[in-house]
Amino acid sequence: MGDRDVRGRLAIALDVDSAQAALDLAKNLTPHFGVAKVGYELYAAAGPQIVGQLRDLEMSVFLDLKLHDIPTTVGKGARVLGRIGISYLNFHASGGEAMLRAGVDGLSAGADEAGHPAPVPLAVTVLTSDPPDMTRLRSLSVMAREAGCAGVVCAATDISDVRAVFPAAVTMVPGIRMAESGRDDQVRVATPSEALAAGADVIVVGRSVTAADDPSAAAAALVASLSGLG
């Protein structure tokens, strides 16, 4: 895998509470990570303008807001979020098929209105901090497919079960740990190369890089650990 191909498959979780802290990390990490994951902590602190600021650093943005509400509210919220130029947005699959469909439709309508490429709508299945539940994983993956989601957020160990029922799913995979690092609150973890070898389209890396003494060096080591992959 060439470095450019790898970069678009690596998302850095900017789980910090200010725009300045996020942009400082992003400036250091953009050579290695093509995707910036913005959760509600950073989004609440920095506002929607953080999306354009990260795009200026050549990163596409995964807005990890895990929307879950009545379908109308999710659809209207997703529409406004679609206008700001994000590449990925997620919804809790447990919100049901009608809610997911409203989110998918709202997101693409908003992007279209603002002249942005269609973002990738993702359904959150079973959190990587929860124990495995394959029956639930499969039924939520079927629902995501039926609702028009492009893919799912799942653990590396879930990918084959997801693809058994949703073959074309884009898989966004958190719960990534370098071999030598601790698990924190994650239960189902994989190393970066294990997750990519298992078929992850994008891996989400957080504390193993952002909490390192030298995040740039940790990112470089992560990329080096992938050099044996196809």
Check binding of 35 to ligand C5P (CB under 6 A). Answer: no
Tokens linked to 35: 């995707």
> What is the rounded CA–CA span in Å between residue 139 and residue 148?
15
What three-state secondary structure class fits 220?
A: helix
Which value, to the nearest 10 degrees, does the dihedral of the CA atoms of residues 46, 47, 52, 57 take?
20
Give the binding range for ligand C5P (CB under 6 A) out of 46-54, 124-132, 194-202, 220-228: 124-132
Task: In angstroms, give the least distance from the CB of 188 to ligand C5P.
Answer: 9
* Catalytic residue status for 66: yes
Check binding of 204 to ligand C5P (CB under 6 A). Answer: yes
First and final CA of the chain: distance in angstroms? 5
- Tell me, what DSSP letter sits at residue 34? S
Radius of gyration of the chain (CA): 17
> What is the rounded CA–CA span in Å between residue 75 and residue 79?
6
Task: Kindly identify the residues of this chain, within the stretch 63-122, that bind ligand C5P according to CB under 6 A.
Answer: 64
* Nearer Cβ to ligand C5P (102/122): 122
From residue 157 to residue 186, the character string flagging contacts with ligand C5P as x (rule: CB under 6 A) and all else as - is -----------------xxx-------x-x
Number of amino acids touching ligand C5P (CB under 6 A) = 18
What positions carry a catalytic annotation?
A: 66
Q: Which residues bind ligand C5P (CB under 6 A)?
A: 13, 15, 39, 64, 124, 127-128, 153, 174-176, 184, 186, 204-208
